[in-house]
Amino acid sequence: MPAADPSPSGSPHAGRPASKKPKRAGLLLVLVVLAVAAMLGLGTWQVQRLAWKTDLIGQRAASLAADPVALPVFGPAATPDELAEWSFRRVRMTGRFLHDKELYQAAKSLNGNSGYHILTPFERTGLPGGAAQTVLVSRGWVPLDHKDPATRAAGQIPGEVTVTGIARVPGTNAWVVPDNRPSENFWFTIDTKVMGDFVDETLAPVYVEADATPVPGDLPKGGQTRSELPNDHLQYAITWYALAISLIVIYVVYRRRH
């Protein structure tokens, strides 16, 4: 007499596919939980970034609205934190422009016209204790056909002057920005060390962007500082939270159908 078949279908392997379903369902649940946790974490991180950026924007706005203060003399031992405290602060300083050592930075004006930013070393005078320092000043924008100083001679102010503007700390070069071309005196980014070597001056580790105070001949045009900070963190946070909720809904619908 033949032995009884142990499975309902008569095959010893018939029950195996069904036994895999709980394992797949469990794995799917784990993956969904991990994905939702990651999305919620990214959303929360963006909320934290939103608070940080909002505070930074407020600090910058307050600095730009304040009255100009004397720019301190920065020694070679100045730390990044000390320099950062002066970033985007309104400052003033007295001295004379070294016009024969002009540098030319590729730039566009506020209305999008191509031209140059005129960068001129500024030898400070009247510093306490007989200190000396030369600061690079981004005097402002000129059109392409006014690169030659002879075409804007009225703006080459001689003698001692007082400059007011925005203190800036040179940043690291972005990968999309071309390399500077010192041999041509053509610059894309400000590097006070390399520029100082080029003009044979020891330049301060900060530079100043001149404000919109008019100059004779109306060139260079100051007030070219871009101080706006993008703040898209709220949109990013909403996007991550929405993706997490969507994934939960999709999972619930899937489970109900299966």
Q: Is 200 helix (H, G, I), strand (E, B) or coil?
A: coil
Q: What is the mean pLDDT of residues 78-105?
A: 96
Q: Under 8 Å CB-to-CB from 157, ≥6 apart: which residues?
A: 97, 215, 216
Candidates 210, 200, 102; CA nearest to 147 is 102
pLDDT the model gives residue 173: 54
pTM for the predicted model, two decimal places? 0.78
Q: Which residue has the higher pLDDT, 17 or 143?
A: 143
Per-residue pLDDT at 17 exceeds 80:
no
pLDDT digits (tens, 9 = 90+) for 69-91: 999 999 888 999 999 999 999 99
pLDDT digits (tens, 9 = 90+) for 160-189: 999 999 999 998 655 678 899 999 999 999
Q: What is the mean pLDDT of residues 82-107?
A: 96
Residue 3 pLDDT grade (very low, low, confident, very high; cuts 50, 70, 90)? low
